[in-house]
Structure 1
Amino acid sequence: MKPLRQNPLWTVILFFVLGATLYWSFIASDRFVSRANVVLLSAQISKPDVGLSAILRGMSNNDLLILRDFMRSTDMLARLQTELDLRAHYSNSDIDWFSRLSAPDVPTETFHRYVLKRLSIEFDEYAQVLRISAQAYDPGMAQRIVALLLEAGEEHMNVMGHRLAEEQVHFIEKQVEVLHQRMLEDSERMLSYQNEHGLVSPTETVGSLSGVIAKLEGELAGLQARKAALSVSQSERAPEMMKLDSEIKGMREQIATERARLARASGDALNRLAAEYELLRLQYEFSNELYSSAVTALENTRVEAARALKQVSVLQTPTLPEYSTQPRRLYNITVFAILAALTGIILQLLLAIIRDHKD
């Protein structure tokens, strides 16, 4: 005892070590730890191979980090409090004074800091796994905390994924309706034009007339060649020459009539009808292609919306602890004793230096 009296510093340190030993050996309340390991998976649904670029982002490892941050948030804390009443559990008077929550009605910030000390939610980058553990003063409560973390986390991730998916689907559905109505209007306009002019396809009619004119011009060229050949041996007043002149004249009149029918200047000219009809047809085909692309995009977006659903795949279900693993009594006592001894040595050296300077 005499050496201790001569070294009051070590007396104080020994007193603290004995106090810590007594606390962690007999007073500190047992804490039970429930653990779970999870990954996030999305539905593996094949999507159509179309030219539409991906509307929704695919999953990434950041999803697990987002899930971790949500589990550590005050929103998650509020749900834990609502369903499990953690304030009452952690402030129970049966828990030792140093370990328990000071009061059930502490501010949210204080309560949040306390709960975070009882939760461990870490992302294993190598295994791409989220490792979750919760400490409570009852085995069942520890397991329920982890189970609720998993349930609420999965709901939160699905809400996030659905929000963007629903907005995209809603937008494309509106576009599909607009394009469908536009296609119907263009189709009705084209049919009305056909009925008004009594032509199924003015373009084909123009092609047919052009063929007739080409045939007539070929026949006219043949007649002119015969006339040129006969003019060598016969006069212009010869009966056969006069007959050829009459046929050539009639052929030219027929060609002029067909050409006038094809391209006369009035509003009912077939070339104008064909041009107007072709414009209506192209407009209808364009509207139809836009509508088809929009329908394909809608189906693709719905598939992506299903892929956006995330499921918390549990690699290890929340365990029900059979014995307490916290606090680590022997470890805490050993570490405290070592730190106390180091502190005593440092303080003793400082005191020795001070005494040397005084001397």
Structure 2
Amino acid sequence: MLDKRFNEFKNSITPAEFNHVEFLQKKAESLRATDPELSDRILIRVNNLKSQVKKQAQPKQHPPVQKTKATAKPHSKLTKLKRSPFLACVVLPTLIFAAYQLLWATERFESQAKVIVQQPDSASTMDSGMALLTGLTGSSSGSDPELVKAYIYSNDMVEYLDNNIALREHYSQSNIDFFSRIHDDDSKEALNQYYQEHVDVILDDASGVITVAAQGFDSQYAQLLTNTIVERAEWFINSIGHQLANAQLTFMQGEHKRIEERFSSAQKDLLVFQQKYNLLDPTAEGTAKQTITNTIESQIATKQTEIKTLKAIMSDSSPQVQGLKNELSALNAQLEVERDKLSQTGLDEVPVSELLSRFTDYKIKMDLALQAYTSSQISLEKSRIEAYRQLKYLITVEKATLSEDSKYPDVIYNISLFLLLLSLAFGIGKIIISTIKELK
């Protein structure tokens, strides 16, 4: 932690060295190469010391003349205040507030940065067929600027800024006037409220530009605060898309692996079945055997017709009739063999019909697994492209400015508004008192 390293550095030197500007500057320069974060933190301490020296060097303005008049004529002033409620209720508080604004209120500097949320146009990086297949259009979400604004004002952002650039320490410096600073014993909620009052996030709905304006009690810290807010907001907007895309991609990868295993198992079962019975396709082989059987039956019918024809002109004992009878017996025997092949096969004597049924079952399972695998592959590719599409960037339109003049407090505006509000309150009070008197 940066605060821990800074405290160790503080404890390693004497209090006089810790309050010595030149010594701290040399230490910061020597640490620039090895520990740039600690070097920047020491430079913040140097700027604070310079601001304190500058404040102490300015001559204090005292109103001795007013004190003299007040001591010389106290009764006359009290009498005037009693006689003129407007002076007591409006003019005097306004003068006190004006003195605070002009003489005591600590100056605040503002640094502005302009950024815009952009993301890759995924549809332009692939052909039209893949774009239609995945259903991607490349359009960005209009809620991204609102998410950035919400995160900048969040407690997580305040905690990050406090841990990395000492937000509370800067806003609670002793050289800041009592009413403008936050105090060491204030709660986290008070720090968050104070931070929100000193950081403005403005959204331009037309262009999508996000303007981040952060206030600090020196211009360098205001610039550092703005830059840190922009960098952390960029990390946040990227992490949202990555978390969503990675969760979806992880789920799809798990589903795809499960479907791939099922497809491999179906292929293996079919291959084992084919190797066991030495069959490539039982359907085709069954059809071939049935064709052979039909051919033999046709030949038997032909031989029977020839035998009947010869018997009409020859005796049964003639060589021609006996030859045909022998051929007919051979065909009948072969027919029985082929019919046995249709009803059973191999040494296991498994019927062809059962083989065909089992083969069909394995084939259907493999086809369904193949279809699921194809769909899963498409979904996985879509998820991968979606993960790329979810990448978003905060593109800097204008870098954080380093102001030379303080912007706050706006003395004329504050005094005028204070006077106007008091005058309105005084007028309303006068009307209420007058109404009460009339009703008595």
Q: Same fold per TM (> 0.5)? A: yes
Closer, same or farther: CA 177–89 of 1 in aligned 2, 3 Å: same
Deviation of 1:65 (Å): 2.0
- Aligned residue for 1:80? 161
- Aligned residue for 1:260? 340
Give the Cα–Cα distance (whole angstroms) in 1 for the partners of residues 435 and 252 of structure 2: 80
Give the secondary structure class of the aligned counterpart of 1:323: coil
Give the secondary structure class of the aligned counterpart of 1:330: helix
Closer, same or farther: CA 341–249 of 1 in aligned 2, 3 Å: same
Q: Which residue type is aligned with residue 42 of structure 1?
A: Q
Residues 1:107 and 2:184 are matched in the alignment: no
Deviation of 1:348 (Å): 2.3
Contact 2:117 2:208 in 1 (8 A): no
Of 274, 281, 288, the residue aligned with 1:201 is 281
- Aligned residue for 1:19? 96
Q: Which residue type is aligned with residue 311 of structure 1?
A: Y
- Aligned residue for 1:303? 385
- Aligned residue for 1:352? 434
- Aligned residue for 1:180? 260
Of 191, 212, 216, the residue aligned with 1:132 is 212
> TM-score by structure 2 length?
0.69
- Aligned residue for 2:87? 10
Deviation of 1:252 (Å): 5.6
Give the Cα–Cα distance (whole angstroms) in 1 for the partners of residues 362 and 406 of structure 2: 81
RMSD value, Cα = 3.5
Q: List aligned pairs for 1:35-184, cutoff 5 A.
A: 35-45=112-122, 46=125, 48=130, 59-101=140-182, 103-184=183-264
Closer, same or farther: CA 189–138 of 1 in aligned 2, 3 Å: same
Give the Cα–Cα distance (whole angstroms) in 1 for the partners of residues 397 and 314 of structure 2: 109
Give the secondary structure class of the aligned counterpart of 1:160: helix
Deviation of 1:14 (Å): 0.7
Give the Cα–Cα distance (whole angstroms) in 2 for the partners of residues 345 and 207 of structure 1: 109
Give the secondary structure class of the aligned counterpart of 1:38: strand
Give the Cα–Cα distance (whole angstroms) in 2 for the partners of residues 144 and 324 of structure 1: 16
Closer, same or farther: CA 10–275 of 1 in aligned 2, 3 Å: same
Deviation of 1:15 (Å): 0.8
Give the secondary structure class of the aligned counterpart of 1:29: coil
Contact 2:89 2:422 in 1 (8 A): no
Of 262, 287, 293, the residue aligned with 2:369 is 287
Give the secondary structure class of the aligned counterpart of 2:107: coil
Give the Cα–Cα distance (whole angstroms) in 1 for the partners of residues 306 and 400 of structure 2: 105
Q: Can you list the C-alpha shifts for 1:18-71, whole angstroms capped at 9, x where unaligned?
A: 2222332333222212222323222333574586788xx985222322222221
Contact 1:28 1:327 in 2 (8 A): yes
Give the Cα–Cα distance (whole angstroms) in 2 for the partners of residues 268 and 312 of structure 1: 71
Q: Which residue type is aligned with residue 286 of structure 2?
A: V
Q: Which residue type is aligned with residue 289 of structure 2?
A: L
Q: Can you list the C-alpha shifts for 1:213-269, whole angstroms capped at 9, x where unaligned?
A: 4444555676778889x69x9569698888777766765654454333123498422
Give the Cα–Cα distance (whole angstroms) in 2 for the partners of residues 286 and 236 of structure 1: 65
Unaligned runs of 5+ in 2: 1-76
Contact 1:10 1:344 in 2 (8 A): no
Deviation of 1:13 (Å): 0.8
Deviation of 1:112 (Å): 1.0
Give the secondary structure class of the aligned counterpart of 1:99: coil
> TM-score by structure 1 length?
0.82
Give the Cα–Cα distance (whole angstroms) in 1 for the partners of residues 364 and 314 of structure 2: 54
Of 334, 337, 342, the residue aligned with 2:424 is 342
Q: Size of the alignment, in residue pairs?
A: 353
Q: Can you list the C-alpha shifts for 1:272-313, whole angstroms capped at 9, x where unaligned?
A: 223322322332333334334333433332222222222112
Give the secondary structure class of the aligned counterpart of 1:335: helix
Contact 1:58 1:308 in 2 (8 A): no
Q: Which residue type is aligned with residue 185 of structure 1?
A: S
Q: List aligned pairs for 1:313-352, cutoff 5 A.
A: 313-352=395-434
